[in-house]
Amino acid sequence: MDNITNISFYNTGNTFTNSAGEDYYDIITPGVAILSADNSTYILYYDRDEVTKIDKKEEGFYDWSKEVAEFLIKKNKYETSTKFLSGLLMCADNEDEDGLYDFMQENGGEVVFDSPNNEINSDIGIFVIKQIGEAQSTEDVLIKTDGSKLFINDEKIDLSQLSSGHFDIYQDPILVYAR
């Protein structure tokens, strides 16, 4: 049984192909959930609202960004490089610009952090929304997994059914894009 230290959901969108909505939540496509444990990382891949694959890596600090970027590019038919999307995912994960530092040095531009609740800017292109799910109370909450189920204290959730809707409290979600 692995103790889960963090659960993050990464969803993406592309305003060049879809900007019809009031905010960025209206145009996102499900991406992945990353469950971080002490000595392993779980990647849950989504197609629509269903988990289609669960991948366990036996490393606590596994760099999942390239693998996830390749999945998202193929699934969503994004016309971008793995290097760019991988960097954008790392910017969202770490909430800093370091993931795209080399890209920005070569191509110029900047990384922008914003609220996904804002009105859609149709000129930004590919973006990432990061949501971190938390249990109802962060005090005395134990989250574990056996690789097929998630245990939050006495509640059991099949990992294949996990969604951001299972959490009542979130850290402030962030929208990340480059311009």
pTM, two decimals, is 0.88
Contact 120, 17 (CB under 8 A): no
Count of beta carbons in the 10 Å neighbourhood of residue 35: 23
Instruction: Give the total number of structural domains in the chain.
Output: 1
Q: What is the pLDDT of residues 16-28, one digit of tens each?
A: 999 898 999 999 9
pLDDT at 60 over 70: no
pLDDT class of 78 with cuts at 50, 70, 90: very high
Of the candidates 106, 169, 104, 162, the one whose C-alpha atom is nearest the C-alpha of residue 133 is 169
pLDDT at 138 over 80: no
Q: How far apart are alpha carbons 178 and 121 in whole angstroms?
A: 12
pLDDT of residue 155: 81
Q: How far apart are alpha carbons 179 and 177 in whole angstroms?
A: 7
Whole-number mean pLDDT of the chain? 86
pLDDT of residue 136: 41
Find the mean pLDDT for residues 113-135.
Answer: 88
Burial class (CB within 10 angstroms; exposed 0-12, middle 13-18, buried 19+) of 18: middle
Return phi, psi of residue 153, to 5°.
50, -115
pLDDT class of 137 with cuts at 50, 70, 90: very low
pLDDT class of 6 with cuts at 50, 70, 90: confident
More confident residue, 160 or 78: 78
Of the candidates 95, 96, 99, the one whose C-alpha atom is nearest the C-alpha of residue 85 is 99
Find the mean pLDDT for residues 172-177.
Answer: 77
- Cα-based distances in Å from 112 to 47, 129, 176, 178: 27, 12, 6, 6
The whole domain housing 85 covers: 2-178
Q: What is the pLDDT of residues 41-59, one digit of tens each?
A: 999 999 887 888 988 998 7
pLDDT of residue 134: 60
Of the candidates 175, 83, 74, 71, the one whose C-alpha atom is nearest the C-alpha of residue 124 is 175
Q: How far apart are alpha carbons 94 and 106 in whole angstroms?
A: 21
